[in-house]
A and B are shown apart, each in its own frame.
Chain A
Amino acid sequence: MAPPAEVLAVRGLSKSFPGVRALDDVDLTLHAGEVHALIGENGAGKSTLIKLLTGVYRPDAGEITFQGSKVSFATPLEAQKAGISTIYQEVNLIPLLSVARNLFLGREPRNRFGVLDIARMNREAEKTLRGYGVRVDVRRPLRTLGVGAQQMVALARAVATDARIVIMDEPTSSLEPREVETLFSVIRRLRDAGIAVVYVSHRLDELYAVCGTVTVLRDGRRVHHGSLADLDRLALVSTMLGRDLGEVREEGLTKFTGDHEATDTQPVLDARELTVPHKLHEVSLSIRPGEVVGLGGLLGSGRTETAKAISGALPVRSGRVTVAGVPLRGGSAPAAIRAGVSLLPEDRKSEGIVPGLSVRENIALAVLPRLSRFGLVSEARVDSVVDTFIKRLRIKASSPHQKVGELSGGNQQKVLLARWLAMNPKVLLLDEPTRGIDVGAKAEVQKLVDELAADGLGVLLISSDLEELIEGSDRVVVLKDGAVVGELTGDDVTEDKLMRTIAGDAQVEHLAKEVATDG
């Protein structure tokens, strides 16, 4: 059997943005009928690679050979016309147009007078979509369809435009399990029709179910490529996260000083079976005073959503949260804050700081009503609170009146911490507290988390930095695809165990056997 034709060959592709080398000398080869998994953590370069392939960005170096000839797409439309279609996480069709119009957008059938042949369009649309398991009235506006059906329309559209390569960027993130099955059968049909598929997902089960080959990116470089079957789950996870199997740390590199003694056996925070459609499935966890509980898992495993659901920022379908024994009204951030739950959001710039206001106003923002009488702010009391926290957290600003937007990332993070500490919280939910801040500030924030826990706060720590997570946490609850898959306690809080838990229990047993026979 002759090997299938090479559809795409990428050689030495590089792309830099100010301050970041997003993609560094990356190769990628796709053959007809290949389903290729493209994986990597946040910032690994997946999106950049996709955007280079589809003409959104222009490469700094390297070349793309598509169907035997060198190409350089100036716009996504050019790439699409040439035969590279992309299905994004968010459906990128026109919500108000009919399903049929969306399917035929830009290549509508016309009758002999040059007028749109709507009857034919609807007929053909219906027929095409039936093949994708979508049975709807194609005259309805697209937005009246469920997200899954919309995604199928996008997919059908991509295939109908004679795509040779279909890139799917986390296509299942908003699909029901049944819809995922349909998607998979469509992908297999595409494969059989000789179309190459690039499949981006963080759900390991899906990758193994549908992909044949894999490319792993990390920090902008290709760190692994080859057959997916040759790479077991644990190896996949450790390659992705950049950790050696069985690597044992002798001493910590972070500023965390070690274990805390939970001062109380009663949990200060108890979350039970939190469920958010498509995001969380019956997530339960509890934190005792003085304890730092880590939340482990890959990108998209539901860590941020868990923190947001606890803090009332994300409405839950079911489940409950109690703080120090008192039940919390769900879906209300003010209620959670009053009860003593504070969330340091992952997206510091858009959800955390109020950039145009001063350091002083930002620190005082949440606590302001407590420093006011009859709605009048007591400036003296604000000053004293602000001064206290600027000193205690060593916030570096030219003055309390400097705009927060002008501070460094680390200092912005400290301002946010100060905002919450001023509220005297019982529980701190820290979502990536040290992401994007410099080493010095990172160490300070880590030290602070330690001190706060020592003072009796309950802390939930989310971090993609494994070292930080392992060394900072007394316990680690591991999430996968929106559900708790394990919990590490005591001596089990190690990177190795964490990766094994993420990779899945079956894999761990399998590995244990392997080790036993080897040993």
Chain B
Amino acid sequence: MAEATLRTVPLDKARVLQWLQTYGVYAGVAALLVVNTVITPHFLSAENFRTQAVQVAPVIIVALGMALVIGTEGVDLSVGAVMALAASVTALYLGYGLLPALLVVALFAAAVGLANGALVALVGVQPIVATLALMVGGRGLALVLLPQLEDLRNPSLASLGSGDVLGIPYLILIAAVLAVLVAFVVRRTTFGRQLLAIGDSRPAAQLAGLPVRRVLIIVYVVCALLAAVAGVLATARLQASDPTSLGNLMELSAITAVVVGGTPLTGGRVNIAGTVAGAVLIQLLTATLIKHDLPPSWTQIAQAIVIVAAVYAARGRGKR
């Protein structure tokens, strides 16, 4: 009898943690929606949803790439710098038209991703150090290319930033399409499965003959490309290139979204739906506090609480 009761208590706790870890982020989003509906005036308006979604779209896009990197037991601190770089390069090459400018942006981003990937996969530098170098250097380069804020008057860029299809802004559509695409890659492709295996046990993946280096390099390139997309979209929305502040602290927002969304930092698992929900959760939380005129410092404290809660729920995973 006594033994039976002893055994059920920790089991229940484990089950609660398990539930929190899987569904906690969605429950959080739902709770914030309900609370705001009650306490925030005009919360349930199409306009408000649109604003929130447009604001969160770049975070989601960056977080998708971050989720892949974290799935390999890595991290990419250079995503904010890549956004800034994308803004600078867009401003420099917009004169040749939007498409050529985007191509050059992609080249720059791919170069950053290759450098990150090569440092991690070939040289064996720890991801946090390798990408730290480009976090600092990337923004430096962005500022060398374009030292100050520059207004951009380009109709195609403007329509990318504020246009819509059937009332849905391009930003949201692009983020949604990319999320579905990345989720598909993770679930249904050889690449996705190899990525997870490498993140879970690199020695085993190596001995199983997986192309470990190639997969790692591609992951960092994809992450940089996604950050560049976010940088271009944010620039388009601002209709200005702002390499000084664009993407500042974005790496932290993205990591937060990924972790809160139930993707463990220890690798081997990538939760894309959770990552999107994680970004939305942080966005709603911030918006709620701002709408109720609480100072920005409160937002940071609230974020910290969410992160601690997420880490608590993830406790016990990875380290077995």
By a beta-carbon cutoff of 8 Å, the part of chain A in contact with chain B is: 311, 313, 333-334, 336-338, 343, 345, 350-357, 361, 364-366, 368-369, 372, 375-377, 379, 405, 419
In the complex, how many residue pairs between chain A and chain B have their CB atoms under 8 Å apart? 77
Residue of A with least CB distance to B185: A375
Please measure, in the bound complex, the distance between the C-alpha atom of A405 and the C-alpha atom of B210, giving whole angstroms.
20
Please measure, in the bound complex, the distance between the C-alpha atom of A437 and the C-alpha atom of B269, giving whole angstroms.
28
Whether B309 is near chain A, meaning CB under 8 Å from some CB there, is no
A304 shortest CB reach to chain B, Å: 12
Contacts of A356 on B, CB cut-off 8 Å? Answer: 196, 200-201, 268-269
Please measure, in the bound complex, the distance between the C-alpha atom of A350 and the C-alpha atom of B203, giving whole angstroms.
7
Contact of A365 among B188, B210, B211, B268 (CB under 8 A): B210
Q: If A365-B193, A372-B189, A375-B190 touch, does A354 touch B211 (CB 8 Å cutoff)?
A: no
Please measure, in the bound complex, the distance between the C-alpha atom of A355 and the C-alpha atom of B205, giving whole angstroms.
11
Whether B123 is near chain A, meaning CB under 8 Å from some CB there, is no
Whether B209 is near chain A, meaning CB under 8 Å from some CB there, is yes
Contacts of B196 on A, CB cut-off 8 Å? Answer: 354, 356-357, 361
By a beta-carbon cutoff of 8 Å, the part of chain B in contact with chain A is: 188-191, 193-194, 196-197, 200-201, 203-211, 268-269, 320
Contacts of B268 on A, CB cut-off 8 Å? Answer: 354, 356-357
Residue of A with least CB distance to B206: A333
| Pair B200/A355 contact, Cβ less than 8 Å | yes
A177 shortest CB reach to chain B, Å: 31
Q: If A353-B201, A365-B197 touch, does A334 touch B189 (CB 8 Å cutoff)?
A: no
| Pair B189/A354 contact, Cβ less than 8 Å | no
A427 shortest CB reach to chain B, Å: 14
Contacts of B205 on A, CB cut-off 8 Å? Answer: 354, 365
Contact of B188 among A311, A333, A357, A376 (CB under 8 A): A376
Residue of B with least CB distance to A366: B208
Residue of B with least CB distance to A344: B207
| Pair B211/A334 contact, Cβ less than 8 Å | yes
Please measure, in the bound complex, the distance between the C-alpha atom of A246 and the C-alpha atom of B193, giving whole angstroms.
53
Contact of B206 among A313, A368, A369, A419 (CB under 8 A): A313
| Pair A351/B191 contact, Cβ less than 8 Å | no
| Pair B194/A355 contact, Cβ less than 8 Å | no
Please measure, in the bound complex, the distance between the C-alpha atom of A353 and the C-alpha atom of B210, giving whole angstroms.
13
| Pair A351/B207 contact, Cβ less than 8 Å | yes
| Pair A350/B190 contact, Cβ less than 8 Å | no
| Pair A351/B204 contact, Cβ less than 8 Å | yes
Contacts of A338 on B, CB cut-off 8 Å? Answer: 209
Q: If A369-B190, A375-B191, A405-B320 touch, does A352 touch B207 (CB 8 Å cutoff)?
A: yes
Please measure, in the bound complex, the distance between the C-alpha atom of A431 and the C-alpha atom of B210, giving whole angstroms.
20
Please measure, in the bound complex, the distance between the C-alpha atom of A313 and the C-alpha atom of B204, giving whole angstroms.
11
Contact of A377 among B190, B207, B210, B320 (CB under 8 A): B190
Residue of B with least CB distance to A352: B204
Contacts of B194 on A, CB cut-off 8 Å? Answer: 368
| Pair B190/A354 contact, Cβ less than 8 Å | no
| Pair B197/A357 contact, Cβ less than 8 Å | yes
Contact of B197 among A336, A354, A376 (CB under 8 A): A354
Contacts of A372 on B, CB cut-off 8 Å? Answer: 189-190
| Pair B210/A376 contact, Cβ less than 8 Å | no
Please measure, in the bound complex, the distance between the C-alpha atom of A337 and the C-alpha atom of B210, giving whole angstroms.
10
B192 shortest CB reach to chain A, Å: 8
| Pair A345/B207 contact, Cβ less than 8 Å | yes
Residue of A with least CB distance to B214: A334
Please measure, in the bound complex, the distance between the C-alpha atom of A379 and the C-alpha atom of B187, giving whole angstroms.
10
Please measure, in the bound complex, the distance between the C-alpha atom of A338 and the C-alpha atom of B209, giving whole angstroms.
8
Please measure, in the bound complex, the distance between the C-alpha atom of A118 and the C-alpha atom of B188, giving whole angstroms.
62
Can you list 14 A-B contacts with CB-CB less than 8 angstroms, sorted by A residue number?
A313-B206, A343-B207, A354-B196, A354-B205, A354-B208, A355-B320, A356-B196, A356-B268, A356-B269, A361-B196, A368-B193, A375-B191, A377-B190, A377-B193
Residue of B with least CB distance to A371: B190
| Pair A375/B207 contact, Cβ less than 8 Å | no
Contact of B207 among A333, A361, A364, A405 (CB under 8 A): A333
Please measure, in the bound complex, the distance between the C-alpha atom of A469 and the C-alpha atom of B110, giving whole angstroms.
53
Please measure, in the bound complex, the distance between the C-alpha atom of A369 and the C-alpha atom of B197, giving whole angstroms.
14
19 new A-B contacts at CB < 8 Å, known A354-B201, A365-B193, A366-B208: A313-B206, A338-B209, A350-B204, A351-B204, A354-B196, A354-B200, A354-B208, A356-B196, A356-B200, A356-B269, A357-B196, A357-B200, A361-B193, A361-B197, A364-B193, A365-B208, A368-B190, A368-B194, A375-B191
A333 shortest CB reach to chain B, Å: 5
Please measure, in the bound complex, the distance between the C-alpha atom of A350 and the C-alpha atom of B209, giving whole angstroms.
15
Please measure, in the bound complex, the distance between the C-alpha atom of A366 and the C-alpha atom of B197, giving whole angstroms.
10
Contacts of B207 on A, CB cut-off 8 Å? Answer: 311, 313, 333, 343, 345, 351-352
